Structure 1
Amino acid sequence: MSQEVSEPDSGKEKQDFFEQIVVTGTASGTAVRKVDSSYATTSLNADMIKKLAPKSTADLFKAIPGVWAESSGGVGGANVFVRGFPGSGDAPFLTVQLQGVPIYHPPTLSFLENSTLFRVDETISFMDGLRGGPNSVVSNGQPGLTTNFILKEGGEATEGLIKYTTSDYDLQRLDAVLSGAIAEDLYYMVGGYVQQSSGIRDAGFNSEKGQQFTINITKELDNGKLNFYTRVTDDHGAWYLPTPLVEGVDNNYAQIGTLNRQASIQYGPNGTTQAFDFGDGRGWDGSISGGSINLELGNGWTFVDRFSYTSGDADTFGLVPNLSPVALSTVADNGSSAFGAVTGTEYSGDTLVQQVGRWVVLKEIEAFTNDLALTKKSDKYQATIGLYATDYSAEDWWSIGNQSYHVIQSGGENLTGIACNDSADSCDFNYDINSVGDGKTTALYAAFEYQLTEQLRADIGIRNEDHEVEYTVDEGLDGVITKAVQYDESDTAWTVGLNYQFQRDMGVFFRASEGSKMPFFDDFRDNFDAYTGGDDLIKDVTQYEVGFKLARSNFNLYTTGFFTEVKGDTFVRRPGAPVEKLTNEAYGVEIDGAYFNDSGFSVSVNATIQETEITESATNEGNEAMRQPGWQVRVTPSYDFELSGLEANVYGTLIAVDDRYSSNENNVVLEGYEQVNLGMFVRTESGLKFEFAVNNLTDEDALTEGDPRNPQAPNGRFIMPRNATFSVSYEFY
C-alpha cells in the first residue's frame, strides 16, 4: 500500500508537495516517508494518472523508471520488462496488487499477464511501482516490479463524480464514483464505468467494450480498521498484432474487421469445426474480491491480515500473422486470382496476401491469497514475521495455428481458390491443447529493521517458500495426456539494506538481494524435457542497488543505480521449437525527479539508462537482451493558471526511446522514436471540469516489436496512432 500526504493540484496547498509516505515494500505495511525508504518506488496519484491518459493498465507503467512497457497490443496482452530482466513477451517479472495483495500469484502464463486482469478507472486513489529491493521477500516474492493499486475510501462527507468521455475513435464512456458514510465509523465507496468504441485502430464495429463495478467498505475501529471490497469486470478489446511492413500499411492498420471477425476453425484428431468471433480479442470477465484487517494490539504490536479471491475467464481471440507477405499469384490454385470468402470479390494476382492464424485460447483462472503479518515496533527497531499462502489454478483450451491466406488490408477477408484455405488441412501447424493446472505456494518471511544511529538504519529480510504444482496437458485434444507434472520445490530469498540520512530531506541507500522466479504451468509445458531430466526450472535473480534521495519543498530527485543477474531463464519461440537457456546481466541508472514553482509551472522527469548482456547462451552469448532500449526518457511539463476566473492547466509529455533489438540474435533493429502527448483541463468553482488530451500528436509510426515467432519476417507492431479524447465531469462534495 501507499498513500500521499498531499498531492499537486490547482487550488491545493503545495508546500508539502513532496512529503510522501509509502508502505509498498515493507513486510508489515507500516508507513515510511518515501525519502526515508531504502528502495526504489514511484507513486502516482489520481491526478497524475489522469494526465497520463493511459489507454490500458500497462500504458500507465511507462511512467515508472526502469520499466519498458509495450502497450501496443490493446487493452489486454501487454509486454512489460523491468531493469533488463530477460523476457520474450508478456510480463514474467510483474506483479499487480490491489489493496496490497497480488490479484493472481503467477506473474505470467501464456496469453495472460497480470495487467490484463485489471482496469484503471475513477475508483483508484493512487498506484505505487516498486522495483527490485524487498520484492524478493514480500508479497508473492517475485523480484522484478510490483505495482500496487489502492482504492478510494469513503469519509464523513458525501462525495461523488460523474464523467462522460468521447473521442475521435467513437469512444462512448461513462464513469461514476460515490462515497460517504453508512453509519458512525462505517464508510463506503462505489463506482465504475461502462464503455464501448470501435478502437483506436478502427475495426468498423465495437471492438472494445465492457463495464466494471467496484464497492469498497471501510470500518474504523478503536484499535484499527477493517476493509472489504469487490471489483467485477467484463471488458475486452481487439488484440493488435504485428502487421506486414509493406506499402499501404501504417499505424492505423487493424487486422480485425467486419469481413473476418467470424471464422470457423478445425481442431482435434477428427477435425471438429467450430465458429468463433475473433472480434472479442483479449479481455477479462471476472471478479477480484478481498479485504484486510489491521489491528493495534498494544505495547508496539500490530496485526495485519490481507486477503484476495480472484475468479473468471481471460480468453484470447486473435488473427496472428505468419511468415512474409506474398503475391496472390504465387499461392492461388489457378496461378492468377482468388475470391473473397465473404464478398465474392475477385482479387488479381498482384494482390498482397499473408497467412493469418485464427488463434483461440480459452483460459479460466482462480486464486485465493492470504498474507498475514505480526509486527513489534519500538523506538530502535521493528520486527515482523509473516505467512503468505496462495492456491491458484488455470484451465486452458487452445487451438493455435489455423493458418489461412487473407488479403493485406485493414479487416482483409479470407480467400477461396487457395488449396490450403479450402482443404481440411491448414497451411501450417496447429497446436491444440487442453490442460489443467493447480498450484500452491506457502512462504514464511521475516524482516528486522534497526536504527543504528540517528542517521543510519539497517534492515534485513528473509523468505522461505514452498512451491507445488500439479499439471497435466492433453496435446492434440484426443484425450491422451502427453505431459504430467508433480512438482514440489523450496527456495530461500533474502534482502539486506542500509539507509543513511544526511538530513531529514536527503539520504542514500544500498541494497543487495537474492530471489527467484518459480516455474508455473507453461514453464513445464515448454521445458518438459528439462524438467523430466531433473532441472528445477527456478530462475535465480541477484540484484544490487545504490540510491540517492532528495526531497525539498519545490523539487525532488530520486536516482537509483542497479545491477541485475538472472540465471536459468529460458526462451521458446513457438511450441516444439528448440529451448534457449541463458543468463542475463544488466546494469544502469533510474532517474525520477520533479520541480514545482509558485507561478504554477512544474515539470517531472523519469529516465532509464541501461546496458544488457546475455552472458551465457549456446547461440547468443555476448548479445543484448531482446526488446529493451538502452535508454528512455519522459519529460512532463505542466502549467496551472486562471482563465476568466476558472482554474486551468495545460500539460504535455515528450517521450524519447533508444533503438532495440527484436530478438536475442540481435539481427533485427527496432529504431528509436519520439512521441509527444498534450492535454488541458478547465475547472469551474461549481465542480464542472472539461478535459482534452491528444496522444501521439505527430502520429509517429514507430514499432514496439517485430515478429516474435519469425524474427526475419517483415512484420512489426506499431505504437498507437494519434488519438484524441474529450471528457466533461461534475464533482460534488
Structure 2
Amino acid sequence: MTKNFKLSAITIAITLLCQANNVLAAEESSRKVANEKIEKIIVTGTFSGKAVAKEEASFAISSFSEEDIKRLAPKSTADLFKAIPGVWSESSSGVAGANVFVRGFPSGGDAPFLTVQLQGAPIFPPPTLSFLENSTLFRLDETVEFMEALRGGTNPVISNGQPGLTTNFLLKEGSEYTEGLVKYSTSDYGLQRVDAVVSGSLADDLFFMVGGYIKSSPGVRDAGFNAEEGNQFTLNLTKVLDNGKINFYTRQTDDHGVWYLPTPLNVEGVDNEFTQIGSLNRQASIQYGPEGNKTTETVDFGQGRGWNGSVSGGSIDLTLDNGWGIVDRFIYTSGDADTYGLVPNGSPVKLSTVADNGSTAFGSASGTEYSGDTDVQQIGRWVVKKQIEAFTNDFALTKTFDMGSVTAGLYNSTFSAKDWWALGNHSYHVIAPGGENLTGIDCNDNVDSCGWNYDINSVGEGRTTAVYLAASYEVSDAITIDGGLRRENHQIEYTVDEGLDGVITKAVSYDETSTAWTVGTNWMFAEKQGIFVRASEGSKMPFFDDFRDNFGAYQTGEDLIKDVSQFELGYKLSTNSYELYATGFFNEVKGDTFVATPGDPAEVFTNEAYGVELDFNYYSNSGFSINLNATLQKTEVTEHSDPLVIGNESPRLPSYQVRVTPSYNIDFSNGMYATLYGTLSVVDDRFSDALNTPAAVLEGYEKIDLGMILNLSDAVQMQLSVSNLTDEEGLTEGDPRDTLSSNGRYILARTIDFNVSYQF
C-alpha cells in the first residue's frame, strides 16, 4: 500500500468527520445549554511556553484535570496514560517499569518515545535507559493539578526534542485562600495510604503548596508481605509579579513495589492474581564476577522496582515591554532507580525432567519434598543498581507582533547514569505463589546459573545542547501558519566493564549533530472549529544502552540516530455541549533496535504506521456526559535484516483500542450529590514477536471499570472504584526475552478501592 493511499484514506476519514460535525454543530446552536464547560487552556507544545486555547492549537494535545485523574483511578502513572489517544500503555508491571508506545512507534520495551515533564521541564532527558523509563520517576498524588499530553506536533523542535509523546504534569500553586485536603485510601488488597495537601498565601502575591503521601500494601498481586511501600513530599512556591511569575518546587520520593513479570500461561493455578515472588523466595543468593573469582551476595528481591530520589526546579515567566517575553525553566534530578526481580527463563517443565534422581527435589527454604509431576521453571534473579543525575535548562525569548510572533530558544542538559548489573542467576523454582528455589537439581546446586549470566559495571555521561528558532504568522483572522527549526549537538562518554573483572570492554566517545524541523497550518473556519496540517522531521538520539547494544555498528561509524518523519491532519470542534478532536497521522521511524537478551546482537529495522486518533466528549445539563477515546492504526516493518519480518505488523501494538467513559451526576434533596461513572476498554489482538507467529498472538480483551464519588457535604467526599469488574484475564505482553515461550503478563486482576477525604 502506498503512502499516498494511506494519507488519502486518512484525509477522507477526517473530511467525513468534519461534515458530520457541521450538522451536529447546527443542531447544537439551536438549543441553549445551561452548564457551559470551562474553556481548556494548554501550555505544552507552544513555542513560546505561553498558554493558548486548546482548540486553537495546531497539534494534537489532550488535557486531564484533577477531577479526570480522580475518576480514572490509575494504579500508576503509566496506567493514566491509557486514557491518552494514540497511546498503548502496558502498565501491568506494577508501580514502575511500564512499556509505553505512541502512534505505532516501534519499541522492544520501556518507553523510548515518551518524555515525562514536571512544570514544563523533562524530569530525565534520556526518555529510556535499560530498566528505566520516565514514568518510573513520577508518582501521582493530590499535589498534581492537571496533565497535558502532546503527541507529535511541535515536539521534535522544543524542549528535549522528543518526537513521540510528551506528558507534562503541572502542580497546584496556591492562592489568597488557605485550603487543603486530607484523604485516607484502602482497598481489598490491603492498601493503607494517607494523602495530604495544603496551600495558601505566605505574603502578598507569594503563594505556597505543600503535600504528599505515605502508603503500604502487599500489592495488587498479593506477595504475602508489604511489597509496595512509599512516601512522597512536594513543595511548590510561586511569586506573582506585575508582569509574570517566578516558581520554585521540590519533590522528594521514595517509592517501590514488586516487579510483576510474565508468568507461565499453561500451568494450573496461574492466573491474573499470580506472582512468583513471596516469603519463601524474596531473599536469594546471587553470584557475579569473573570465573574462578565469583562473589556471592544475598539480596532481598522484595524491593522490586522504584525511585528513591528528588526532582527540584523552577521557572521564570515574564512579559516585557514592546511585545517581548521570556520563559526559563530549569530542573535538577538525582537519585537511585534500582530493579530487583524474579525473571522467567523459558517455558515450565516437570520436575522429574531436571531432578538429579529423576523424580523429586526439596525446597531450599521449607525442606518440602516435591513430586516429579510438579511444574518448575528457571527463574532469573536479576539485580540492577542505577544511579542517575540530570540538570536541564530551557530558555525561550519571544517577540510578539500584531500578526504573529518569533521565538528563539536555548536548551541545555547534562545527564549521567552509573549502572551495576547482575543478570541471569537462573535457578529452578516451583511454579506457585511464592514458589521456592529447589535443591536436588544439579545446576541449582553446583553452578551459578542454569541459564546465562550478564554482569556489567558502567558509567555514562552526556550533554545535549540545542538552539531552536520558531515563528507563527496570522495570515488572516482564521488562518495561522507556523514553523520551527532545531539544531542539536549530542555528546556521550560511556565505558562498560562486562564481566565485572575490572576490564573495560566497550568505550564510547560520541559527538554528533542533528537538525529537526516542523511546519504547521491552522485554519479556524468557524468559531471554535477548525483543521490543522503538520509535517515534521525529528530524531531520537542514542543514549548509553544504545551504544552497548549496537557497539559493532558504532565502531563501523554509524551514528545510531533514529530518524522520525511525521505527517498529521487534524480536525477540532469545541461547543458548550460537546467537543471532538480527530487526528490522522502517518509516521516512519528508521534505525530502531531490539535486543531480546542482554549481550545479544541488536535487530535493526524501519517501521511505518498510520492511523486516526479520536477524542470525543459530550456534556449535558441533565448531568450526563460521555467520553469516547479511540485509536485505529496500521503498522508495518518495512526494513529488517530478516526478510521474513518485512511486511509484518510491529510487535505488541493493537490495530485498534477503544475506551468509552460515561458518567452521571446526581443531586439529592438533602444536599448530598454523587457522580456515577464507568469505562469500557476494548483492545484488539497483537503479535508478541516480529515474525508474527500465529502461536505468539496476544488475544484482544474487554475490560470494565466502575466507580462512584459521593459528596456527603462540600467538605467530605467518598470514592469507591472497581477496576476490571469482570476479572478479565487479558494479556498485555508475552515474554520479550522468549516470544515463543508459554509466558505472558496478565492485566491486573479485579480490585476494589475506597477513599474518604476531608477538604477545608
**TM-score, normalised by the number of residues in structure 1:** 0.98
Whether 1:706 aligns to 2:734 is yes
1:572 shift after superposition? 1.3
Question: What SS is found at the alignment partner of 1:303?
Answer: strand
CA distance in 1 between counterparts of 2:548 and 2:38 reads 47
- In structure 2, which of residues 674, 677, 682 is the aligned counterpart of residue 648 of structure 1? 674
CA distance in 2 between counterparts of 1:14 and 1:560 reads 29
Whether 1:326 aligns to 2:314 is no
1:96 shift after superposition? 0.2
Q: Is the 8 A contact 1:96 1:148 kept in 2?
A: yes
- In structure 2, which of residues 687, 690, 704 is the aligned counterpart of residue 661 of structure 1? 687
CA distance in 2 between counterparts of 1:303 and 1:159 reads 31
1:686 shift after superposition? 4.3
Q: How does 1:496-507 map to 2 (within 5 A)?
A: 496-507=519-530
Q: How does 1:245-644 map to 2 (within 5 A)?
A: 245=265, 246-269=267-290, 270-619=293-642, 620-643=645-668, 644=670
CA distance in 2 between counterparts of 1:14 and 1:638 reads 18
Q: How does 1:53-72 map to 2 (within 5 A)?
A: 53-72=73-92
Question: What SS is found at the alignment partner of 2:331?
Answer: strand
Q: 1:602 to 1:86 in 2, by over 3 A?
A: same
Q: 1:600 to 1:294 in 2, by over 3 A?
A: same
Question: What SS is found at the alignment partner of 1:136?
Answer: coil
CA distance in 1 between counterparts of 2:677 and 2:276 reads 33
Q: 1:507 to 1:57 in 2, by over 3 A?
A: same
1:688 maps to what in 2? 716
Give deviations 1:348-401, integer Å, cap 9, x for gaps: 000000000000000000000000010011220111000000000000000000
1:697 maps to what in 2? 725
Question: What SS is found at the alignment partner of 2:649?
Answer: coil
**TM-score, normalised by the number of residues in structure 2:** 0.94
1:426 shift after superposition? 1.1
CA distance in 2 between counterparts of 1:154 and 1:132 reads 32
Q: Is the 8 A contact 2:286 2:448 kept in 1?
A: no
Whether 1:159 aligns to 2:159 is no
CA distance in 1 between counterparts of 2:692 and 2:86 reads 21
Q: Is the 8 A contact 1:18 1:552 kept in 2?
A: no
Whether 1:728 aligns to 2:756 is yes
Q: How does 1:124-143 map to 2 (within 5 A)?
A: 124-143=144-163
CA distance in 2 between counterparts of 1:562 and 1:362 reads 39
2:20 maps to what in 1? none
CA distance in 1 between counterparts of 2:35 and 2:477 reads 26
Question: What SS is found at the alignment partner of 1:395?
Answer: strand
Q: Is the 8 A contact 1:18 1:555 kept in 2?
A: no
CA distance in 2 between counterparts of 1:278 and 1:231 reads 26
Whether 1:108 aligns to 2:131 is no
Q: Is the 8 A contact 1:547 1:560 kept in 2?
A: yes
Question: What SS is found at the alignment partner of 2:154?
Answer: helix
CA distance in 2 between counterparts of 1:487 and 1:425 reads 36
Count of equivalent residues: 720
Give deviations 1:267-325, integer Å, cap 9, x for gaps: 00111001111000000000000000111111110011100000000000000000110
Whether 1:86 aligns to 2:106 is yes
CA distance in 2 between counterparts of 1:576 and 1:219 reads 51
Opposite residue 288 of structure 2, the aligned amino acid is Y
Q: Is the 8 A contact 1:587 1:610 kept in 2?
A: yes
1:428 shift after superposition? 1.0
CA distance in 2 between counterparts of 1:386 and 1:361 reads 37
CA distance in 2 between counterparts of 1:18 and 1:355 reads 55
Opposite residue 724 of structure 2, the aligned amino acid is N
1:425 shift after superposition? 2.9
CA distance in 2 between counterparts of 1:240 and 1:685 reads 40
Opposite residue 262 of structure 1, the aligned amino acid is Q
Give deviations 1:455-490, integer Å, cap 9, x for gaps: 110000010000000000000000000000000000
CA distance in 1 between counterparts of 2:225 and 2:602 reads 40
1:575 shift after superposition? 2.2
CA distance in 2 between counterparts of 1:518 and 1:414 reads 42
Q: Is the 8 A contact 2:278 2:433 kept in 1?
A: yes
1:14 shift after superposition? 7.3
1:21 shift after superposition? 1.2
Give deviations 1:28-58, integer Å, cap 9, x for gaps: 1111111111100000000000000000000
CA distance in 2 between counterparts of 1:606 and 1:50 reads 17
Q: Is the 8 A contact 2:61 2:148 kept in 1?
A: yes
CA distance in 2 between counterparts of 1:686 and 1:395 reads 49
CA distance in 2 between counterparts of 1:15 and 1:610 reads 35
Q: 1:297 to 1:14 in 2, by over 3 A?
A: farther
Q: Is the 8 A contact 1:94 1:114 kept in 2?
A: yes
Question: What SS is found at the alignment partner of 2:126?
Answer: coil
1:6 maps to what in 2? none
Q: Is the 8 A contact 1:473 1:483 kept in 2?
A: yes
Q: Is the 8 A contact 2:638 2:646 kept in 1?
A: yes
Opposite residue 319 of structure 2, the aligned amino acid is E
CA distance in 2 between counterparts of 1:412 and 1:435 reads 33
Q: Is the 8 A contact 2:35 2:621 kept in 1?
A: no
CA distance in 2 between counterparts of 1:120 and 1:230 reads 15
1:184 maps to what in 2? 204
CA distance in 2 between counterparts of 1:592 and 1:227 reads 32
Q: 1:366 to 1:14 in 2, by over 3 A?
A: farther
CA distance in 2 between counterparts of 1:599 and 1:615 reads 51
Question: What SS is found at the alignment partner of 1:652?
Answer: strand
Question: What SS is found at the alignment partner of 1:24?
Answer: coil
Opposite residue 217 of structure 1, the aligned amino acid is L
CA distance in 2 between counterparts of 1:165 and 1:581 reads 46
1:192 shift after superposition? 0.3
Q: Is the 8 A contact 2:454 2:599 kept in 1?
A: no
1:193 maps to what in 2? 213
Opposite residue 630 of structure 1, the aligned amino acid is S
CA distance in 1 between counterparts of 2:600 and 2:419 reads 21
1:8 maps to what in 2? none
2:700 maps to what in 1? 672
1:145 shift after superposition? 0.1
1:645 shift after superposition? 2.4
Q: Is the 8 A contact 1:16 1:553 kept in 2?
A: yes
Opposite residue 281 of structure 2, the aligned amino acid is N
Question: What SS is found at the alignment partner of 2:302?
Answer: helix
Opposite residue 259 of structure 1, the aligned amino acid is L
1:340 shift after superposition? 0.4
Give deviations 1:514-570, integer Å, cap 9, x for gaps: 000000000000000000011100000000000000000010000000000001111
Q: Gaps (5+ residues) in structure 2?
A: 1-32
Opposite residue 659 of structure 1, the aligned amino acid is D
CA distance in 2 between counterparts of 1:238 and 1:17 reads 41
